[in-house]
Structure formats: structure tokens, C-alpha cells
Amino acid sequence: MPPSPIDPPRTPAAPTRTDRVARIFASVIGGPFGDHAQDPPRRRFWTPIRVILLTGLIVFALNWLQKYPCSAGGWVDWQQYTSACYTDIRALWGAERLNEGFIPYRDHPVEYPVLTGWFMGILGQIAFRIGSVAGTDGGPIFFHLNAIVLIICGAAAIAVLHRIREDNRRTDLPGPSPDPALVHARPSRPWDAMMLAAAPVVLVTATVNWDLFAIALAMPFFLYWQRGRPVAAGVFLGLAVAAKFYPLLFLGPLLVLAVRQKRILPALQSTAAAAVVWAVINAPVAYLWRDSWLRFFELNSERPVDWGTGWYVLRGVTGWDALWDSEFVNDLYLVLFAASCLGIAALGFFVQRNKMPMEDVVPRLAQLCFLVVAAFLLFGKVWSQQYVLWLIPLLILARPKWGFFLVWQAAEFGYFLAFYGKMLQVSADDDRGIAEGLFLFAAASRWVTVAILCALVVREILNPRLDAVRSLRLPPMPGAPLPPPRAASDRAPAEAP
């Protein structure tokens, strides 16, 4: 769909009018949007994007402070667990031999996709050279450089998410030039980006790893696809896959909806652009240092069941010995994930097919993408604590409702604390940490809340009128049935005394 020549002005939806939880929290800052308030409000400086970005920067800054005790390295008495300040960025400064001036892939195999390897390599070289000139350890410099750039990436992701929801165009309308009034029939929802800016778990996971870098590259894919620019969308998708592999999962929903809507060409253009960009980034490294490049793929196939996954919980609860076998779990995961993808594809292709093309009932791309990535985590054998960052923006695009979002965030926050309690329990020799049962409960809570979110998204796909992004009118409630007419021979009721 080409971009609309004219974007009709739309009044942004007030969160306190559309979300019950937002209405409750608004009482702290003056109450919900009133019936007699000017709509839209007059704002000279504190526009929605500035308020949202300020909130996000505060949250990112608090995360930076939360990780600061571990930035110096040389962790003593399991400080990285007792303070819950562990970060892969600081740990891999030595593990990837960046502290020796090594260049990723050329001098040392790296367990990350190429663009993330370049990211850490460039900042690693800067930190190493500054440390060499200043005669100091480059490790803290490396962490703080990464924190600054990741905060910028996080702010960029928030800004793009805000733009997606402010625009909130339909992409399912038939024809090369659909009516702009229909394209922009959905309400403008710029405040949805606040869910990413203020997500509680971002406080503790933003700088655990380089995931914000990939997220900042993945968000423009949805923006440009929404605007009818498939090649630009594909370029950003290719960049995102070159940084982390999970955005590759977006291609399945993209192609399913393209087949459903009989608009294959734009989806193929995006896919081709993503493949070219990914190949251009990966080909030099794969050609020059093949073994180092393959390390990422080998590690993902060899890794055993990781802490906190559904398989770990199942093994801990049932004692099923077969779950210690990595190959068995790999096969079982592939079967379950493939079955999930087939079910999601069927949902995206068949649901609401009997409706008129102009009706806003086609499953949205973000809804299917969230379901696929969530299934990947629910049935995967690795579910690191920072992977929650993958789901947050996808869930906001799929289901921007605060209620169960906060329940899920509480479960993720609880798992974050339980994870470090478990690491302390298995690492220290003085009976510190938490019991296995408590860790299993925290991991199971995370698994269950994500599964419930999937069920809620599926429910809204099946009943689009529940989807806040569309704001379709609910059908009128049926009234009480009228009493049957009284026959002429019936006696009239007696008068009341």
C-alpha cells in the first residue's frame, strides 16, 4: 500500500478514557481526562513524545545506576548476584578478550550475530585504546560506552514506537490507493509508547546485554511496513536479524498476511531486501573467518536446557530424565514450535475471512509476530532474563492494555530477582540464595503469564471488537425480552388498592 497523500488530522486517544488501569493511576497526577477538558490539550513544550522520552530516559538512567556497582569488574563475594547488577557486557569484556585488544571474529570467535559482534568490537577497541593511553582498565569504560549507546537505542525504539502508534494506519485495505479516510480510521494512540518507556522490568534488564540495539533496528520495520514502504522495512529487518536472530520470525506472519490479502509483491520485496542486507553484513565475516562466524550457530544447537525455561520447570517438577538430553529437547522444541507456527498461520489466514474487505477485522501483523516470538520463548530451551525486552514492544503493538501487562511485568521482575538468588545458591558455599522450589515457582509464573498474554491476543484476533488498536464499536447488548401480548379473553388485572 503506498503512503497516503494526505494524512487527515486526528485527535489522540486519551489513555484515561480507553484504559481502566491508566484511569486509576491518573488519580495520582490530577485525575482522568475530563468531559469538559480541551481535546486535544494545548501543549507548547510537554508534548506526548517529550513526556514519554523523558520517562524512558529516567528509567534507562536508573538501570545504569543499578548496574553501576558491577561496572568496575573484579566482583568479590558474588557481588554480581547479591546486588543483582550482573551484566554480560562487563563479563564479556574479558571472556571475548576485548581487554587484550582482540577484534571479534578475526582474533576470537564470538557467540553473537555479526552486527552485534561489530557493535561490541568497535566499542571494545575504543575502550581498549582509551584505557591503554590513560593507563587504566578499559573494562569500566567499555561498560559505560555501551550503556550510553544502548540508552540511545532504547530512546530511538521508544520514538519509533510512538510514531507507529501516533500514525496507526491500516495496512489491510485492498487496492493500490485506498481511501485515506479508511487508512486512518483507527484512533491515534501516541501514549501507547509510555508502556515501553515505563516498563518496570526495563529498570533491571536494559543493559544486561545488547538486545536494545536489535530492538532499535527492528521497530522501523513495523513503521515502514505500515507506511507502505516495503523495501525500507526489509532493510531494517535485515539489520535487525544481523544483530539478533529473533526478528527473522517476523517473516512468517508477514508472508501469511500477504497471501491472505493477495499482496505478495510487497512482502517479497521486504524479504528480498532483508536477505540482501543480512548477506552483505555477514558475507565478509563468513568468508574471512568462517569458523568464528559459525560459532553462533553451533552454540545455539549445542546449548543444554537453560535456567528458567519451560523445560527446566518441567524437569524440576516431574523429574523427567529425558529432559537432560539436549538432542531430545531440541527435537521436542522443534515439533512444538512448528506446530505453534502452523496454528498461528492458520489463525492469521482463516480468521474473519467471511467479512467485507473494508471491515477492520484482519489479524494485525504485530499480533501474529508477538505470538510467534512468544511461542519461540515458551518452547525454547534458552530464555535469558533480557529476552523480555523482545516481547515488550511487540506486546504493546499487539495489545496495548496496561492491566495484564503489569501482572506480566511483576512476574518478570520476580523471575529476575529469583534468577540471581538461584545463581547465588549454586555458586556460594554458605547456603545463601533461594530454594529450588521458589525458583521453579518464579520461572513457572513467568511462563504462565506469557501464555496468558498469548491467549488474550488470540481472543482479540477472534473478536476484533476487543482490540484497543482498532476501537471498533461493541455490538449493543440484547435487551430483556418483551412479555407476550395478552390475549383478548384474558381478564384485566385488578386495580391496585
Q: Which residue has the higher pLDDT, 132 or 185?
A: 132
pLDDT at 30: 61
- Among the listed ranges 41-45, 95-99, 206-210, 387-391, which one has the minimum average pLDDT value? 41-45
- Report percent pLDDT > 90 for the chain: 73
pLDDT at 185: 87
Cell 550510553 belongs to 148
At 236, give phi and psi (nearest 5°): -70, -35
Q: Three cell numbers at 115?
A: 552486527
Q: Please, which residues bridge with residue 137 across strands? A: none
User: Is the predicted pLDDT of residue 398 greater than 90, yes or no?
Assistant: yes
pLDDT at 497: 42
CA distance 457 to 463: 10
pLDDT at 61: 97
**93 pLDDT tier (thresholds 50, 70, 90):** very high
- Among the listed ranges 25-34, 48-57, 483-492, which one has the minimum average pLDDT value? 483-492
Half-sphere exposure of 83 (CA within 13 A, CB side): 17
Give the model confidence (pLDDT) of 287-334 as tens digits.
999 999 998 888 877 788 899 999 999 999 999 988 888 889 999 999
User: Is the predicted pLDDT of residue 379 greater than 50, yes or no?
Assistant: yes
pLDDT at 352: 87
**29 pLDDT tier (thresholds 50, 70, 90):** low
CA distance 333 to 344: 16
Give the model confidence (pLDDT) of 226-268 as tens digits.
999 999 999 999 999 999 999 999 999 999 999 999 999 999 9
- Average pLDDT score over residue span 200-225: 97
User: Is the predicted pLDDT of residue 5 greater than 50, yes or no?
Assistant: no
**4 pLDDT tier (thresholds 50, 70, 90):** very low
User: Is the predicted pLDDT of residue 123 greater than 80, yes or no?
Assistant: yes
**40 pLDDT tier (thresholds 50, 70, 90):** low
**32 pLDDT tier (thresholds 50, 70, 90):** low
**486 pLDDT tier (thresholds 50, 70, 90):** low
pLDDT at 304: 86
pLDDT at 180: 87
Does residue 278 sit in helix, strand or coil?
Answer: helix
Does residue 68 sit in helix, strand or coil?
Answer: helix
**483 pLDDT tier (thresholds 50, 70, 90):** low
pLDDT at 496: 46
Give the model confidence (pLDDT) of 257-296 as tens digits.
999 999 999 999 999 999 999 999 999 999 999 999 998 8
User: Is the predicted pLDDT of residue 127 greater than 70, yes or no?
Assistant: yes
- Average pLDDT score over residue span 1-8: 49
Q: Three cell numbers at 30?
A: 490530577
211 and 386 Cβ atoms separated by less than 8 Å:
yes
CA distance 259 to 385: 35
- Among the listed ranges 134-138, 350-354, 423-427, which one has the minimum average pLDDT value? 350-354
Give the model confidence (pLDDT) of 139-189 as tens digits.
999 999 999 999 999 999 999 999 999 999 998 888 777 888 888 889 899
CA distance 16 to 377: 32
pLDDT at 219: 98
334 class by beta-carbon count within 10 Å (0-12 exposed, 13-18 middle, 19+ buried): exposed
CA angle, 348 then 351 then 352, to 5°: 130
**Residue 374 C-alpha from the chain's centroid:** 9
Give the model confidence (pLDDT) of 406-447 as tens digits.
999 999 999 999 999 999 999 988 889 999 999 999 999 999
Instruction: Give, rounded to a whole angstrom, the gap between the first and last alpha carbons of the chain.
Output: 73
User: Is the predicted pLDDT of residue 356 greater than 80, yes or no?
Assistant: no
